[in-house]
Amino acid sequence: MVALVFLILGFQLAIFVVKVMERPGDARPEPDMTGQLEPGQGTPPEEQSATPQESGSPERTKFGGYARPDRNTARKPAGGTAHRPARQYESFPFNPNTVTLDELQRLGLSQRQAESIDNYRSKGGRFRSKADFQNMYVVSDTIFARLEPYIEIPKLELNTADSAALVSLHGIGPWYAHKILDYRDRLGGYYDKTQLLEIDGLDAVRYEGFADDITVDPGRIHPLDLWHASDSLLARHPYLGPRGARSVLRYRQLYDSTRWTLTDLAHEQVLPQENIEKLKKYIEIQ
């Protein structure tokens, strides 16, 4: 009997121990190698924590590391898009000597670049050719390549230019500007820019320095009334001078008006043939 009682007690004790060991929550389940829990063994830790988008942290992997964020869901930098919008510009004909600061910026130059060009002009700088504009350090090769077809630098017209315009020419200062204007007045206007070489002291080297920057409108010449002008007026003309003026006056006294032609003057050798050819540009009745 005693042995039977001990046998029953031992069996019940064993049952009690087994139940205690199998009580839920007393032991943490181990994940298998795939990282999945066995059915009925609690909620996966991925579902218990916040998502990467909610927490602002990278996603933790099953084995304790961090997953690489998806490029499509990566957070964008604050303040808008990462790329600055392309700068807008216009293209229109312009003269770099007179274009305004606002127009330079509309052409695509920055305010600082436009001010640099304006400072160059305010100090007496002048763009005589497209190459002069290209040589400005603020004008990049890219900007010049785009603007080059629109650069228009008008040439200086000799018969209308004033002293201020003339001194802007390379090699021409106030003294030469005065001589150019005086010679223009005595001639009655230039019909060819090479006439500048007739001015005393203005040599070919100086002339070549600005020849490409000037032009002449022969339609602005004031005609010379060779047959009625006074002695003093004729004497001022470069192609007559005092000696030529006296010869013309004497001829007019000897011959009637029917022979007042340049052809007759040449026949009578009143003036050198070279001067007569030049006078043809200024005399209406030849």
Q: Which of 150, 177, 210 is the last residue of a domain?
A: 150
112 with 142, same domain: the answer is yes
Instruction: Clarify whether residues 165 and 212 are in a common domain.
Output: yes
Judgement on whether residues 187 and 204 belong to the same structural domain of the protein = yes
| Domain assignment of residue 14, yes or no | no
- Asked whether residue 161 falls in the same domain as residue 214, the answer is yes
Distance, in Å, from the CA atom of 63 to the CA atom of 33, rounded to the nearest integer, reads 10
The domain total for the chain is 3
For residue 168, give the DSSP letter: T
pLDDT tens digit at each of 286 positions of the chain: 777 767 777 777 777 665 656 555 544 444 444 444 444 444 444 444 444 444 444 445 444 444 444 444 445 455 555 566 667 889 999 999 999 999 999 999 999 999 999 999 998 888 888 889 999 999 999 999 999 999 999 999 999 999 988 988 889 999 999 999 999 999 999 999 999 999 999 999 999 989 989 999 999 999 999 999 999 999 999 999 999 999 999 999 999 888 888 889 999 999 999 999 999 999 876 5
In-domain check, residue 214 = yes
Question: Which residue range(s) make up the domain with 178?
Answer: 156-220
208: Cβ–Cβ under 8 A, 6 or more apart, which residues? none
First-to-last alpha carbon distance for the chain, in angstroms, is 169
Verify that 215 and 249 share a domain, yes or no. Answer: no
Note whether residue 211 is domain-resident: yes
Q: What is the pTM of this model?
A: 0.61
CATH at residue 177 = 1.10.150.280
pLDDT of res. 286 = 53
Residues 236 and 257 in one domain: yes
pLDDT of residue 159: 97
